[in-house]
């Protein structure tokens, strides 16, 4: 079970997550209470041990700007939350090369299950058809806001759609907490899970007790 602890803002939390067994740590470059910049992220990634994934979360935008930030910050993966854009994804893959992976994001809109089912299925079909289905993260969306909302979507309905794409490496996010991650793992049997606000003591500051329980419960499930 691959575990990513996202929205880190300091070295203590990132290193603590790794010590507790996280496979990846994430940094938010989108407007947020937890937003980071290249210099601050670079200062943290340089401290991380080899083998730990360093993931930058971007809202979308200019491909060259994202690529430059990823390389300067020492990232090993880029996660785009602005929606599936095949042209941008292909351009990023070419610009970044094999050293930086892509994590594609699809959103399940809270309270709009029928529309979400159609949208998510179409986006997954497009990614698979384009050969860009490296890893796909499914997250909650409410109105215009997505990522770090701390709310869960309808897991049962989403799983029915994801089951149509058995070769995908699915990462589940959206409202996960130490108490709920086991249920998400049992529902989706995913490649991995991703958490941000669900293991915080306050915005931008992790609760290391929650971190430990989250990772343990994810792996136990």
Q: What is the dihedral of CA 45, 48, 52, 54, to 10 degrees?
A: -10
6, 13, 133, 194: which one is catalytic? 6
**154 among known catalytic residues:** no
Picking from 108, 109, 91, 110, the residue whose alpha carbon sits closest to that of residue 100 is: 91
- Is 207 considered catalytic here? no
Give 28's strand partners: 35, 57
Q: Which of 13, 139, 194, 207 is catalytic?
A: 139
Catalytic residues: 6, 139
């Amino acid at each position: 079970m691959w575990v990513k602890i996202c929205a880190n803002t300091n070295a203590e939390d990132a290193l603590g997550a790794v010590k507790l067994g996280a496979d990846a740590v994430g940094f938010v470059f989108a407007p947020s209470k937890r937003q980071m910049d290249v210099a601050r992220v670079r200062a943290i990634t340089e401290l991380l041990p080899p083998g730990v994934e360093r993931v930058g979360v971007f809202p979308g935008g200019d491909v060259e700007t994202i690529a430059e930030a990823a390389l300067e910050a020492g990232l090993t993966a880029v996660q785009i939350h602005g929606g599936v854009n095949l042209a941008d994804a292909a351009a990023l893959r070419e610009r970044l090369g094999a050293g930086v992976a892509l994590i594609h994001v699809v959103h399940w809109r809270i309270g709009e299950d029928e529309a979400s089912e159609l949208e998510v299925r179409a986006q997954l079909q497009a990614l698979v058809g384009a050969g860009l289905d490296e890893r796909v993260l499914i997250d909650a969306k409410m109105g215009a806001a997505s990522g770090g909302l701390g709310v869960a979507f309808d897991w049962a309905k989403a799983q029915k759609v994801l089951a149509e794409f058995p070769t995908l490496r699915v990462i589940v996010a959206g409202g996960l907490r130490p108490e709920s991650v086991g249920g998400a793992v049992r529902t989706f049997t995913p490649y991995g899970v991703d958490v941000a606000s669900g293991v915080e003591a306050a915005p931008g500051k992790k609760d290391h007790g929650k971190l430990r329980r989250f990772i343990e419960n994810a792996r136990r499930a």
